[in-house]
Chain A
Amino acid sequence: MADPFLSIQHVEKSFGATKVVHDFNLDVEAGEFVSFLGPSGCGKTTVLRMVAGFEEPSAGHILVGGKDITRLRPNQRNIGMVFQAYALFPNLTVAQNIGFGLRVAGASRADIDKRVAEMLALISLPQMADRYPYQLSGGQQQRIALARALAPKPKLLLLDEPLSALDAKVRVSLREEIRSIQKELGITTIFVTHDQEEALSISDRIAVMYGGKAEQVGAPFEIYNRPATRFVANFVGTLNVLEGTVTDASAGTVRVASQDVALKGKLDGSRTGDTLSLALRPEAIALGARPGHDSKLAGEIADVHFLGSVIRVRVGVGGKQISLDTFNNSSTPPPVVGDKTEISFSSGDVLVLH
């Protein structure tokens, strides 16, 4: 196996007596796009700043291309960084901002001009070269900041919630632009966000963080469908959680809201009488029977939200409400609140949370 391009090994960070990052480990392949996803205060920024060199780890090592950079100063690392607040230099034009890194490195005038033109074309803002930052929208400023970070051809690109200050529409289009530029350049990238949709849609892999630790690292599909911990299951996506009691561990039956549910092969390690949490994604549940769905529960329609292409229905099952999504179909009228109904799902889709 090839050595990872970026290797974060047993990194810890304390501010005074409080430890905010605990034994953080992550290997990133060259050209990979990895997101750090987690709630506020979980240490995403702190880990990123240690990679950039703005914070010194209390323990552990950070290697880039096999070289230990843990003690290098930030200006000796050649790592590009994009900030939430854009941080363009207000006294410099767009072209001067983009050329800043090359100028510091002592590149020739001609080389700088050439690279600046290339970068402006890459972010599709060629006509903006002579503007000042205050003459640009937030989205444009952030694209310039991206071009500025990429211009000196950094080994690594770090982005700390680069889209949080932008409005929803720009956020979506810019995240796709960032991803396509990243693929085009093949640059190894770490992207910090607390927006799960953002992380799921553009990452090769996601590190879900909680309390200063990486709870799970995996591809978006894996994180979403096979969350390793209760926290990951809850944090990523919408989740219905039902409490159940194991009625027969060997047969795989669980009693939920006075109804028996069969969960074949899901109860390894549980004993009869244990209480469990059963989690289900809204899209794994159908109203009524469906081929391949081997488990069902009776309930009553509690709420219907028409969202356009999707209808989100809430079904009351023994005092709990379960959300499920059905696709809109112009020939079928939506369900009616108060109707008795049956929901079905595949026992293979149930996540058992201990």
Chain B
Amino acid sequence: MRTNRIWSWLFVALAIAYFALPLIGTFEFSLKMRRAAYSLDAYAVVLGDPRFQQTFMYSVLMALATIAVGVLLVVPTAYWVRLKLPHWRPFMEFMTLLPLVIPPIVIVFGYIRLYNTSSWLPLTGSAMGTNVLLMFGYVVLALPYMYRAVDTGLRAIDVATLTEAAQSLGAGWVTILARVILPNVAVAVLSGAFLTFAIVIGEFVMAALLSRPAFGPYMQLLGANRAYEPAALAVIAFLITWGCMALIQVVSRFAPKPPEQLH
């Protein structure tokens, strides 16, 4: 018992050191821009850089668009599969896991081949078209998380009976999705949304290869050319990701309670 305790503490301490030391080191380094004293100078430089503001805003907008399109795509699909095509679920699970297996670089080269300026749909021909292409790439990257979150949310409600109850009260598909299904999976959708946000803000490969002014390439550029600023930027990026995770925790407290369970 006693030795057990010691070993578990030792492992916890090792894990903390493994995860925390680089962070602490980075954070400590980011404060050292001014000689001989800790300061937030590096942060001031980064936050004051107009390119930081531009790329960050660009990625935030991309993230919001990705979330909107992802929700519109995933919620009806997951709902329909649960309601009408339950035997398709293993197939859907496999499909939505593919983005974890296929590297983004493969996906983006595929896009460039399919949608280049001499193709039937020359999306890469204009900035807006390339933005749309990048956004769809992000939707694909976020798919494993979004689909799983929504599907888990749907499992908590009796999809079939609620649908029939709404139908017998005169509701069509759009009403059912908007007023019955979506509100009841809102918390799941939100946690999927925060994960998507974190992924899009940090994404580098797709944005760089499609040469869009996103936050990921900016971080890389800064990292290659400066000393203290990249450390500050890394800490900022960490805070954003952690903020998203914390928000997931917060919203899941507001999950609607299921009514008295049967059986």
Residues of A within 8 A of B (CB): 52-54, 73-81, 83-91, 100-101, 104-105, 132-134, 136-138, 141, 145, 148-149, 152, 165
Contact with A along B43-83 (1 / 0, CB 8 A): 00000000000000000000000000000000000000000
CA gap between A250 and B216 in the complex, in Å: 102
Q: Can you list 6 A-B pairs with a CB-CB distance of less than 8 A?
A: A75-B171, A76-B170, A81-B168, A87-B158, A141-B259, A165-B262
Contact of A91 with B168 in the complex, beta carbons under 8 Å: no
- A residues in contact with B172, CB < 8 Å: 75
Contact of A138 with B258 in the complex, beta carbons under 8 Å: no
Contact of A87 with B260 in the complex, beta carbons under 8 Å: no
Contact of B259 with A74 in the complex, beta carbons under 8 Å: no
Contact of A75 with B257 in the complex, beta carbons under 8 Å: no
Q: CB < 8 Å: which of A73, A101, A136 contacts B169? A: A101
- A residues in contact with B259, CB < 8 Å: 86, 88, 90, 132-134, 136, 141
Pick the most buried of B158, B167, B172, B180: most chain A CB atoms within 10 A of its CB. Answer: B167
Report if B183 contacts A (CB, 8 A).
yes
Pick the most buried of A52, A90, A105: most chain B CB atoms within 10 A of its CB. Answer: A90
- Given contacts A90-B257, A134-B257, A75 and B162 within 8 Å (CB-CB): no
Report if B161 contacts A (CB, 8 A).
yes
Contact of B164 with A83 in the complex, beta carbons under 8 Å: yes
- A residues in contact with B175, CB < 8 Å: 104
Contact of A90 with B258 in the complex, beta carbons under 8 Å: yes
- A residues in contact with B171, CB < 8 Å: 75, 100, 104
Pick the most buried of A78, A86, A136, A165: most chain B CB atoms within 10 A of its CB. Answer: A86
Which A residue's beta carbon lies closest to that of B184? Answer: A91
| Distance of B75 from chain A, by nearest CB (Å) | 14
| Distance of B99 from chain A, by nearest CB (Å) | 31
CA gap between A152 and B168 in the complex, in Å: 10
Contact of A134 with B258 in the complex, beta carbons under 8 Å: yes
Contact of A138 with B180 in the complex, beta carbons under 8 Å: no
- A residues in contact with B168, CB < 8 Å: 52, 74-75, 77, 79-81, 149
| Distance of B186 from chain A, by nearest CB (Å) | 8
CA gap between A105 and B169 in the complex, in Å: 9
Contact of B170 with A91 in the complex, beta carbons under 8 Å: no
CA gap between A73 and B262 in the complex, in Å: 29
Interface residues of B in 111-164 (CB under 8 A from A): 157-158, 161-162, 164
Which A residue's beta carbon lies closest to that of B169? Answer: A101
CA gap between A101 and B169 in the complex, in Å: 5
- B residues in contact with A133, CB < 8 Å: 259
Which A residue's beta carbon lies closest to that of B185? Answer: A91
Report if B166 contacts A (CB, 8 A).
yes
Which B residue's beta carbon lies closest to that of A100? Answer: B169
| Distance of A52 from chain B, by nearest CB (Å) | 6
CA gap between A348 and B123 in the complex, in Å: 89
Report if B165 contacts A (CB, 8 A).
yes
Contact of B164 with A74 in the complex, beta carbons under 8 Å: yes
Contact of B184 with A90 in the complex, beta carbons under 8 Å: yes
Contact of B165 with A78 in the complex, beta carbons under 8 Å: no
